[in-house]
């Protein structure tokens, strides 16, 4: 009995550590609600350790035996709610409540059945198998299951469900005591508590992993987003465009648009920085509305913006840039007098497969300068980049022929 009691104590302490960890995440992350539900789940489930420890010494074993069952199952149900919130696959409260109440009623009915029989073990373990399988199914149904951390959590929940299924036969084979009070003295108890502790730790760590990853991703995204415009900052723009450039093949082309708001300093000096901020926000909204799917937009300077259009040719990119220019020119902006319009100039450059972003930025910047010099409120396109390939005469002449 001493070994089983010790494992119950360990399980209880471990559960409290997870409660504290999930509560910390709940105040640090946008997935705070999900973490709070998980903290509640571990807190409620940990009470079962107290119930099982009291069982051999209480004159009311039925109360504590059913209490232990109900607390573990309630904890798993709360975890299912938390995972549903996190993965956007919510469990219907009436269904979950009916499942919990029905399972507890069944446990009350089977309490007097002989322990160690297949009938008792089946009805006792099956609710735990179902709730863990239900939680695993939430991850499978979600759109986040491609992440490695989510895959690990899915595996842990699947293992946990399998564990409760195997326990049906293990309880019969190893013996789980003649009564609920005898459980801690049975050979089955020590094995069950040890394996249960391992799965609790593994599943808890996996759940913490996916939520901590969410916190890290959120912090990283915040560091790459410009607070005023809501678009990427220079760092975020570069990091998001880099994989799109790598995806370009020899037959693909991307396009880079640089935009600069005309006479922006004059707007700030004449109408105030609050109006200047409003101009930035409105221009950012136009970019978000006009740019095509998969395009990346960023505020890369005070009044300078960049848009990368994957698999869009120079001619189509020019149309996009002119659309943005026209939208801004007729936009009514708060803080500006009636009849005062804000314009922008644009430089457009094609981006070849394998080309560095900096090279395309320089060409687009030169075109932007030409647009400014040409009178502003216009779009200028750079010459396509020169691609160098080996000619058929290379082996004879030792020279490359540009195309």
Strand partners, 247: none
Query: Are 215 and 21 a contacting pair, CB within 8 Å?
Result: no
Helix (H, G, I), strand (E, B) or coil at 309: strand
* Distance linking the first and last C-alpha atoms of the chain: 83
Which burial class, exposed, middle or buried, applies to 371 when counting CB atoms under 10 A from its CB (0-12, 13-18, 19+)? buried
Polymer length in residues for the chain: 403
Among this protein's residues, is 355 annotated catalytic?
Answer: no
- Cβ-Cβ contacts under 8 Å for 350 (sequence gap 6 or more): 253, 254, 255, 256, 313, 314, 317, 360, 382, 384, 385
* H or E element in which residue 201 lies: helix 187-223
Please name the residues in contact with 135: beta carbons below 8 A apart, sequence gap of 6 or more: 76, 79, 80, 83, 157
Alpha-carbon gap, residue 329 to 393, rounded angstroms: 52
DSSP secondary structure string, 54-119? HGGG-S-HHHHHHHHHHHHHHHHHHHHHHHHHHHT-PPPHHHHHHHHHHHHHHHHHHTTSPTT-HH
Catalytic residue among 282, 303, 355, 380: 303
Strands 379-381 and 344-351: parallel
Q: Which residue from 345, 363, 370 is spatially nearest to 255, judged by alpha carbons?
A: 363
Which residues are known catalytic residues? 303
């Amino acid at each position: 009995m001493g070994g089983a009691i010790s494992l119950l104590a360990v399980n209880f302490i471990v559960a409290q550590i997870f409660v504290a960890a999930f509560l910390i995440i709940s105040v640090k992350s946008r997935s705070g609600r999900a973490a709070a539900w998980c903290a509640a789940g571990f807190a409620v489930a940990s009470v079962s350790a107290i119930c099982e420890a009291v069982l051999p010494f209480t004159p009311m074993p039925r109360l504590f035996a059913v209490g232990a069952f109900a607390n573990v199952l309630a904890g798993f149900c709360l975890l299912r709610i938390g995972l549903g919130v996190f993965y956007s696959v919510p469990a219907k409260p009436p269904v979950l409540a009916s499942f919990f109440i029905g399972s507890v009623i069944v446990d009350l009915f089977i309490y007097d059945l002989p322990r160690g029989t297949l009938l008792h073990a089946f009805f006792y373990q099956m609710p735990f198998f179902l709730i863990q399988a239900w939680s695993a199914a939430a991850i499978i149904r979600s759109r986040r299951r491609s992440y490695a951390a989510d895959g690990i959590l899915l595996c842990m929940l699947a293992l946990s469900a399998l564990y409760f299924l195997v326990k049906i036969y293990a309880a019969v084979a190893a013996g789980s005591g003649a009564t609920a009070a005898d459980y801690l003295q049975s050979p089955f108890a020590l094995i069950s508590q040890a394996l249960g502790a391992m799965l609790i730790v593994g599943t808890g760590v996996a759940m913490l992993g996916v939520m901590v990853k969410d916190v890290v991703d959120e912090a990283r995204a915040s560091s790459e987003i410009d607070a005023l415009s809501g678009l990427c900052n220079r760092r975020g723009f570069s990091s998001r465009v880099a994989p799109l450039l790598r995806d370009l093949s020899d037959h693909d082309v991307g396009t880079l648009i640089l935009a600069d708001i005309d006479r922006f300093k004059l707007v700030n000096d004449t109408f105030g920085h609050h109006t200047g901020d409003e101009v930035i926000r409105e221009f950012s909204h136009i970019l978000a509305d006009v740019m095509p799917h998969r395009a990346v937009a960023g505020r890369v300077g005070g009044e300078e913006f960049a848009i990368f259009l994957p698999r869009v040719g120079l001619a189509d990119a020019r149309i996009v840039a002119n659309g943005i220019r026209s939208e801004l020119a007729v936009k009514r902006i708060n803080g500006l007098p009636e009849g005062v319009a804000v314009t922008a100039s644009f430089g457009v450059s094609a981006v070849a497969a394998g080309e560095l972003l900096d090279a395309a930025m320089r060409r687009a910047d030169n075109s932007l300068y030409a647009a400014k010099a040409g009178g502003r409120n216009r779009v200028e396109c750079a010459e396509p980049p020169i691609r160098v390939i080996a000619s058929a005469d290379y082996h004879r002449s030792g020279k490359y022929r540009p195309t």
